[in-house]
Amino acid sequence: MSVKKEKSAILDQQDKKLKEQLSKIKHKIMVMSGKGGVGKSTVAVNIAVGLSLQDFMVGLLDVDLHGPSIPKMLGARDLKLTRRPDGRLGAIKYSPNLKFLSIEPLLPAEDSAIIWRGPIKISAIRQFIGDIDWGELDYLVIDAPPGTGDEPLTVAKTIPDAYALIVTTPQEVSLIDVKKSIKFCQKVKMRILGLIENMSGFICPHCGKPLDLFKRGGGQKLAEEMGIRFLGKIPVDPRVVDTGDRGKPIVGAYPESLTAQAFEEVIRNIISATEEMHKEVLEEKYMRIAVPIATPQKFEANPEKFDLFALYDIENNKLLVKDVAKKPENQALVDFLQEQVATHILLHASNTSVADELTSQGIRVFITEEIEANPDNLIHTLLSQRG
């Protein structure tokens, strides 16, 4: 076998393992923020621990390859990866319901500064998900580094059905970054679960009562403006730092505190938002319909020429966004559609074998008799027939 063929066989095998693993995880949530220091890792850890305390099976993945902080926040720096009877490595077990993985246990020394180049980062993240056994999970919470660089992009590509959870603080500068994160999600076609405002108000260390020292509520206003869910506010609480440093997340350490209760409300909202988004896909309230096109104005009915697609995001029978994507020459149609997170495809009535194959892979098919049509008109007709 040539080196090129061997490499592509390895990648195919890795892809297969990745898909198998991802199919066992019900909801995937990437926690992201436009800038550093807004408490993204703190939020990711408390959400993961909080969900696991409610009996969900949870995985927590730290993909911040430059500054991993999850093992410290969990107080689990000594825990090691486990080896399964079949030889595969398993994620680190923190509690019966929570597993985690971070680059830190794999590093030789605590303060090892590693320089990762783009392609290495990408393959490390793919291995974290595909090569490590996570088992069946209700939630995988992924702590991505701040910004919109390689890591969030790799997660978006590797886990196309992950939802983005954006963390911000009430300050104007952070709110500007939220808009950048929203744009990033639209570009990579990642659905947004919602926004959390961290460090919102202050819990007095003496009386434990909330004080409005700083401006707050900007996140909620922005979420309304941008049409995304607002999942809740977490106050500034000195015990968050203390519990983070001691490796006992506040939701477990002080469950009665106002801050832990604020996290609990956020978690309740996350549970209902994820269920709602899952249901929207099942009930076809949310659809991403792929339409094969010859040119942006012309529908393509010949499956041999399926290489360009218009993608329409539909919510409650209304068109939200349209995009155009090109299928790489060697990529199978089903793989392309899954990567684009297409839920449906619109095909010409003559494309029966393609339709059967895609249906068997979970992509739903709409059929049209039209041939020389404008794809936008086909979508409008489809929506008016359904509405």
With CB under 6 A as the contact rule, the residue among 22, 29, 42, 182 that binds ligand ATP is: 42
- Rule CB under 6 A: is residue 343 a binding residue for ligand ATP? no
- Minimum CB separation of residue 131 from ligand ATP in Å reads 25
Report if residue 40 touches ligand ATP, rule: CB under 6 A.
yes
In whole angstroms, give the CA distance from residue 130 to residue 107.
20
Does residue 194 come out as left (phi exceeding 0), alpha (psi in the -120 to 50 range) or beta?
left
Which residue number, 21 or 181, has a Cβ lying nearer to ligand ATP? Answer: 181
- Residue 253 exposed, middle or buried by CB count within 10 Å (0-12, 13-18, 19+): middle
Among 160, 170, 201, 244, binds ligand ATP (CB under 6 A): 244
Two tokens, residue 83: 């080896």
> Would you call 147 helix, strand, or coil by DSSP?
coil
Question: Is 180 known as a binding-site position?
Answer: no
In the bound state with ligand ATP, the residue whose beta carbon lies nearer, of 138 and 237, is 237
**Shortest Cβ 104–ligand ATP spacing (Å):** 13
SS3 127: helix
Nearest-angstrom CA–CA distance, 96 and 194: 28
- CB of 291 closer than 8 Å to CB of 346: yes
| Helix, strand or coil, per DSSP, at residue 326 | strand
Three-state DSSP class for residue 152: helix
Quote the CA–CA distance of 51 and 41 in Å, as a whole number: 15
152 touches ligand ATP by CB under 6 A: no
Does the annotation place 36 within a ligand binding site?
Answer: yes
Compute the least distance from the CB of residue 265 to ligand ATP, in Å.
14
> Cα 347 to chain center, whole Å?
29
Q: What's the rounded Cα separation, in Å, for the pair 363 and 288?
A: 10
Determine whether the annotation assigns residue 38 to a binding site: yes
- H/E element holding 101? strand 98-101
Rank residues 70 and 378 by Cβ distance to ligand ATP and give the closer one.
Answer: 70
Rank residues 130 and 244 by Cβ distance to ligand ATP and give the closer one.
244
Residue closer to ligand ATP by CB (options 116, 366) is 116
Stretch that binds ligand ATP, among 125-133, 205-213, 237-245, 296-304 (CB under 6 A): 237-245
Largest CA distance in the chain: 73
For residue 184, the minimal CB distance to ligand ATP (Å) is 15
From the list 97, 154, 181, 198, which residue makes contact with ligand ATP (rule: CB under 6 A)?
Answer: 198
Select the residue interacting with ligand ATP from 25, 30, 33, 150 (CB under 6 A): 33
**DSSP 8-state secondary structure symbol assigned to residue 284:** T
Q: Does 39 bind ligand ATP (CB under 6 A)?
A: yes
For ligand ATP, the binding residues in 127-146 under the rule CB under 6 A are 145-146
Question: How far is the C-alpha of 313 from the C-alpha of 223, rounded, in Å?
Answer: 20
The answer to whether the annotation marks 39 as part of a ligand binding site is: yes
- Pairing type for strands 92-95 and 364-368 reads unpaired
> What three-state secondary structure class fits 96?
coil
**Binding of ligand ATP by 102 (CB under 6 A):** no
Nearest approach in angstroms of CB 27 to ligand ATP is 21
Shortest separation between residue 43's beta carbon and ligand ATP, angstroms: 7
**Quick count: other Cβ atoms within 10 Å of Cβ 328?**
10
Of the pair 66, 183, the CB lying nearest ligand ATP is at 66
Positions 47 through 86 that interact with ligand ATP (CB under 6 A) = 64, 67, 69
Q: Please name which of 312, 313, 350, 355 lies closest in space to residue 333, comparing C-alpha atoms.
A: 355
The answer to whether 37 is annotated as binding is yes
Query: How far is it, in rounded angstroms, from Cα 183 to Cα 317?
Result: 23
Q: Is 35 annotated as a binding residue?
A: yes
155 binds ligand ATP (CB under 6 A): no
Binding of ligand ATP at residue 199 (CB under 6 A)?
A: yes
Residues that bind ligand ATP (CB under 6 A): 33, 36-42, 64, 67, 69, 145-146, 198-199, 234, 236-237, 240-241, 244
Q: What residues form the annotated binding site?
A: 34-41
Q: What residues form the annotated binding site for ATP?
A: 34-41
